[in-house]
Structure 1
Amino acid sequence: MSDLQQEFGQSLDLGDLNLNEFEQEETVEGNIRMDIQPDAAPTPGMSEMQKMSLFSRIPVVLTLEVASAHISLAELMTLNNDSVVELDKLAGEPLDIKVNGILFGKAEVVMLNDKYGLRILQFNTKDLGELTR
């Protein structure tokens, strides 16, 4: 047998092998090199202002709903320019503030520099999570 055949015929003794002597390869997860990422220190928690600033650039539609009326299609077809439709709110009653179609508060209409504005009487910011549903 040749020397090479004798070397392969012998069993390997891995007890003397120290894996810490070898250089570690870069750890790659997806496209992120984990070996150059700073260690993420646990943060005690973000303040409410920091949490809200994450969402500050997301546009929403704020509407002021005066009132509504339930009428039949036949009644709708008879309406013309001089028609009056009775609504379901009393004059002077606070109007509904809706954000993306979800009720969030009450307001009254005011005039602001020759434009309409709204004075918020009540606004529920605790239910803003409802906008994601």
Structure 2
Amino acid sequence: MSVLDPTLLAEAVAEAAAAVLPAVSPLTPAPAQPGSPHVTAAFAGGAIAELDGGVPGAVVILVGTELVAALAASPLGDLEISAAVQPALDAAALRLGGRARGAQSLDIDVEGFDISALLGGAFSTIPLIGTGIAAAVLIPEATLAGAREPITEAAASAIAAAVEEPEPFVPAFGVAAPAPRGLELLQGVDMEVTVELGRTRMTVRDLLALTPGAVLELDRAAGSPADLLVNGRLVARGEVVVVDEDFGLRVTEILDANAAV
């Protein structure tokens, strides 16, 4: 159990999140304040992650129009706020002594949206100041009360390797919208990159009949380039190579933004 004063703990959590949240200028946490159900009116979007590791509740990060607009205008297509905010939620969770589940974007503009109900009651708000109030971290009082000793990044990596990722938290609300800004905001955003050798279709009967040693025929001829997908979007093709006993991809073709997946 954390021995820090809840207000100081909330500010320490916000500082950890601010260090990795995409922003044009460095973010500095303002003093923690009691949360208001109207806090979402000052922001353009947000994301939530439920916590694991014995720490109750969830953490929310709200972001302004700069980041939301940059994600919407990305050359890789309209990116989810949850992808941009996940590292900040991870950092916040580690400071609370837990782990963040997969983030879910929030549509804070939907009619009837109630941040207090989503967080299960009273919460603290810590604004993050950059060029103005760029973002905010929301932490339920129950989460601050149930916080544990901070987890180091090395320990978090060991836990992640040993523990199967739990099912993501799915709130009852969706996603938000734009107002132009530069790509510099997205430089540090983690993206899921996949190399696909090919695809096939199978009946349920054939799937159930699969056994070790079975060979599946894909829709690619031997020697055909593999696809490089970023968050499910096709962006390049290349040749599969071996690098120090690991597979790699030598990119041979970059596709334009209109390429179909």
TM score, norm. by length of structure 2: 0.28
Q: Which residue in 2 is equivalent to 1:63?
A: 194
Q: Distance in 1 between matches of 2:196 and 2:215?
A: 18
Matches within 5 A, 1:65-80: 65-80=196-211
Q: CA deviation at 1:115?
A: 1.4
Q: Distance in 2 between matches of 1:109 and 1:89?
A: 13
Pairing 1:91–2:222 present: yes
Q: CA deviation at 1:52?
A: 3.3
TM score, norm. by length of structure 1: 0.54
Question: What percentage of aligned pairs have identical amino acids?
Answer: 29
Q: Distance in 2 between matches of 1:107 and 1:118?
A: 6
Q: CA deviation at 1:102?
A: 0.8
Structure 2 residue ranges without an equivalent (≥5): 1-41, 43-130, 132-181
Pairing 1:127–2:257 present: yes
| CA-to-aligned-CA distance 1:8-44 (integer Å, 9 cap, x gap) | xxxxxxxxxxxxxxxxxxxxxx8xxxxxx9xxxxxxx
Q: Distance in 1 between matches of 2:192 and 2:254?
A: 15
| CA-to-aligned-CA distance 1:24-77 (integer Å, 9 cap, x gap) | xxxxxx8xxxxxx9xxxxxxxxxxxxx433211111111100111111000111
| CA-to-aligned-CA distance 1:91-114 (integer Å, 9 cap, x gap) | 000011100001111111111122
Q: Which residue in 1 is equivalent to 2:248?
A: 117
Which protein has greater RCO, CA pairs closer than 8 Å, 6+ apart?
2
RMSD of aligned C-alpha atoms?
Answer: 2.4
Instruction: State the one-letter code of the partner of 1:53.
Output: E
- Aligned residue for 1:127, secondary structure, equals coil
Name segments (4+ residues, structure 1) moved above 6 Å.
Answer: none
Q: Distance in 2 between matches of 1:100 and 1:113?
A: 26
Q: CA deviation at 1:86?
A: 0.9
Q: Distance in 2 between matches of 1:67 and 1:79?
A: 18
Q: CA deviation at 1:81?
A: 0.4
Instruction: State the one-letter code of the partner of 2:233.
Output: I
Larger-gyration structure (1/2) = 1
